Structure 1
């Protein structure tokens, strides 16, 4: 499920000429925080939005106009880290 959702995001960004890489640590972090005993995987999309999409949008806006199109999204100390090069 997580690979499908992240692949959708990757395809949306490829339309803007961005190449994105999601690390295994990020995927594990999202699974750990996005799966609920009661609701199963349903909260996963919200976790992806909170941990990936929102910070990624901010990072892209901050780098607007720069010729940087490669993005790596990972987790450091329980926080999403985005590297744009």
Structure 2
């Protein structure tokens, strides 16, 4: 049976969780908005290939720009990197914003 949009979103969430775990090793934390997850699911789905293009979409749209920002020193250890997309102002363009790490109870 074919994959639904919900399946693709779930797969994207799993792959982003793996990225979050890698970032946690250097004390950085990832917070991906629902809009960004939807955009990844949209660009990472192909009716013929299913979710196969998703990994490439995550690499090109999230990992590569994020790596460049990390190398430029834009994010200090201990911050949460909020990943978002504005479908109105910049459709398909992801933003990476540092925010304070939430205090753990």
| Same fold by TM-score greater than 0.5 | yes
2: CA distance, partners of 1:53 / 1:37: 24
TM-score (norm: length of structure 1): 0.90
1:20 to 17, 30, 41: 30
**Is 1:4 paired with 2:14?**
yes
Aligned residues: 85
| CA RMSD, 1 decimal | 1.7
Detail structure 1 runs of 4+ shifted over 3 Å in the superposition.
64-68
Please list every run of 5 or more consecutive structure 1 residues that lacks an aligned counterpart in the other structure.
none
Name the larger-Rg structure: 2
TM-score (norm: length of structure 2): 0.74
State the structure with bigger RCO (CA 8 A, min sep 6), 1 or 2: 1
> In structure 2, the residue corresponding to 1:13 is in which secondary structure?
helix
Output aligned runs, 1:1-85, within 5 Å: 1-63=11-73, 66=76, 69-76=79-86, 77=90, 78-85=92-99
2: CA distance, partners of 1:13 / 1:63: 14
